[in-house]
Amino acid sequence: MFRSRAKNGLAAFVTSVAFALLLAAPAACARQSRAVPAPATPHTLTGIDVLELEPFAPLRGKRVGLITNQTGVDSQGRRTIDLLKSAPGVNLVALFSPEHGIAGRADSSVSNDTDAKTGLTIYSLYGSTRRPTPEMLANLDALVFDIQDAGVRFYTFTTTMAYCMEEAAKAHIAYYVLDRPNPLGGEIIEGPMLDPDKLSFVGYFPMPIRYGMTIGELAQMFNAENKIGADLHVVSMKNWHRSEPYNQAGLPWIAPSPNLRSLTEAYLYPGIEILQAGGVSVGRGTDTPFEILGAPWIDGAKFAAQLQLRKISGVEFSPADFTPTQDLYAGQLCHGVKIRISPKGELRSIRMGMEIEDVLHRMYPQNFHVDKTITLIGNQATVDAIIRGESPAKIVKSWTPAQEKFRATRARYLLYR
């Protein structure tokens, strides 16, 4: 149903009826244009699906700018771009792309472009500017955001959403977020809080690394807590529950960026990505980014043995050699570990990252630079504790008071049970 925060009974009724009709027509829902097929009838209806069922009523009569990329598709694989372009009464006039571009393939700065199918201008928000300029917004009545997030504080899509919300507020235009599931789930909160003095493009708001909120819930929190003052509307999902894993929502995994190619990599990403700045390859330039970790100066067998001794819940490690084709140590033979998610335990990816960082610091203090991991960890006390050699268990426990305060703040903006 469509809502900012209040429920709209009529919209809920219309959506329920339409969803029942959708269930009665699995053949129509089975049409997919994605590389990874979804079930014939998706269990969860994302924001764009719900907007279609309304149909597009909130946007009628408006000149719209759409912030999106390759993840912005409905349950039948149709681009949100094309749906809004053909929607009666909706005037889609401009597109905006985040990091990695409109197709999600770029791994560097992105230039403005033109969408081949619609002829619309694509304004890059990861090039000469990271915010829409007043000139870009001059002829718009509304901005619409439809991008799949990764559920991680330092993933830049959340900052792009927030920056666009700030500019929409300044321009006095409405802002719509088409909600999607958090791929890491809606319950687990993990990691240290971002220090207030470390706000950046990879850290928009003081919160843990894993926050357990959808992109629409985040938008509500950012808008209220940062006093943005945007005319914000969240088009909520239908049939999604906080405890539901992404792979049970009936939605395919569409890689939001070049190195998050699978849901497995998305789960490992928060705990592995924080390590790269310290001087290890996290598998970029291989077929399995974030599932492999190493450097030329690591002894893979000894490293794997030490990690196995830690008995980290939810993962197993084995020695591995690899040669990345890009990024850190490109073209160099690296030794390290292959990481496998185990069904024996529930993965806490940040706890895993702390354990790996502790082992690297103890085994290779001259090669692995803990101090440089502050960029994504974002919490100086945590980095200092690792340098002092405090146990990961003690470090993780130290996060609890701040996490509980965040949990109380977060509760005010949750849209789903």
CATH assignment of the domain containing 370: 3.90.1150.140
Angle at 124 between CA 145 and CA 413, to 5 degrees: 25
Read off the DSSP letter of residue 100.
T
Q: Which residues contact 167 (CB under 8 A, 6 or more apart)?
A: 131, 132, 133, 134, 137
Instruction: Report the SS3 class of residue 36.
Output: coil
Residue 202, pLDDT score:
97
Q: List the CATH number of the domain containing 40.
A: 3.40.50.12170
Tell me whether strands 142-146 and 231-235 are parallel, antiparallel or unpaired: unpaired
Helix (H) or strand (E) holding 66: strand 63-68
How many structural domains are present in the chain? Answer: 2
Instruction: Identify whether residues 278 and 176 lie together within a single domain.
Output: no
Does 412 map to a domain? no
Give the C-alpha separation, 398 to 378, whole Å: 15
Q: What percent of the chain has pLDDT over 90?
A: 87
222 and 323, same domain (yes or no) = no
Q: Is residue 62 located within the same domain as residue 142?
A: yes
Q: Show the tokens assigned to 121.
A: 């201008």
d(CA 169, CA 142): 10
- Strand ranges, E, within 325-395: 334-341
Backbone angles phi, psi at 328, to 5 degrees: -60, 130
Domain that holds residue 346: 263-403
In 190-274, DSSP assigns E strands to 231-235
The amino acid present at 144, given as its one-letter code, is V
Integer distance in angstroms from the first to the last C-alpha of the chain?
15
Contact 282, 273 (CB under 8 A): yes
Q: Which two tokens stand for residue 130?
A: 């990271």
- The span from the CA of 156 to the CA of 292, in Å, is 23
Residue 252's CB is within 10 A of a number of other CB atoms, namely 18
Q: Are residues 11 and 73 in the same domain?
A: yes
- Tokens 């409905």 correspond to 74
pLDDT for position 68:
98
| Cα–Cα distance measured from residue 355 to residue 343, given in angstroms and rounded to the nearest whole number | 19
The answer to whether residue 162 is domain-embedded is yes
pLDDT digits (tens, 9 = 90+) for 367-411: 999 999 999 999 999 999 999 999 999 999 999 999 999 999 999
Report the sign of the C-alpha dihedral through residues 186, 190, 195, 199, in that order.
negative
Return the half-sphere exposure (C-beta side, CA atoms, 13 A cut-off) of residue 233. 18
CA dihedral 245, 248, 252, 254 (to 10 degrees): 0
Q: Within a 13 Å sphere around the CA of 381, how many CA atoms are in the beta-carbon half?
A: 14
Residues 100 and 181 in one domain: yes
Q: Are residues 309 and 201 in the same domain?
A: no
∠ CA 76-216-202, nearest 5°, is: 105
**Domain for residue 409, yes or no?**
no
Identity of residue 18: A
Domain presence at residue 414: no
Give yes or no: residues 312 and 395 share one domain: yes
Spatial strand order of the sheet with 231-235 comes to 2-3, 231-235, 174-178, 142-146, 63-68, 91-97, 121-124, 113-114
* pLDDT recorded at residue 36: 44
Nearest by Cα to 201 from 255, 127, 269: 127
> What is the reported pLDDT for 29?
32
Query: Same domain for 186 and 234?
Result: yes
Average pLDDT over residues 110-127: 97
Mean pLDDT value across residues 328-332? 97
Residue 118: per-residue pLDDT: 97
- For the cut 70, the answer to whether the pLDDT of residue 39 exceeds it is no
Average pLDDT, the chain: 91
146 φ/ψ angles, rounded to the nearest 5 degrees: -140, 90
What pLDDT was estimated at residue 42?
59
Whether residue 215 is found in the same domain as residue 281: no
Residue 417 in any domain: the answer is no
Beta bridge pairs of residue 67? 96, 145
Residues 232 and 139 in one domain: yes
Q: Is residue 88 part of a domain?
A: yes
Helices marked H in 253-378: 263-273, 300-309, 349-363, 374-377
pLDDT of residue 41: 53
Helix H or strand E segment including 253: none
| Residue 180 maps to a domain | yes
| Between residues 34 and 203, the one the model is more confident about | 203
268 with 213, same domain? no
Summarised one tens digit per residue, pLDDT across range 278-328 is 999 999 999 999 999 999 999 999 999 999 999 999 999 999 999 999 999
The pLDDT, as a whole number, for residue 48 is 98
Task: Answer yes or no: do 197 and 250 share one domain.
Answer: yes
How many whole angstroms separate alpha carbon 395 and alpha carbon 372?
18
Domain final residue pick, 231, 257, 283: 257
Mark which of 194, 222, 257 sits at the end of a domain: 257
On the CB side of 298, CA atoms within 13 Å amount to: 32
Query: Looking at 257, 278, 308, which one is the last position of a domain?
Result: 257
Encode pLDDT of 338-370 as tens digits: 999 988 778 999 999 999 999 999 999 999 999
Burial 257-281 (b: 16+ CB within 10 A, else e): bebbbebbbbbbbbbbbbbbbbbbb
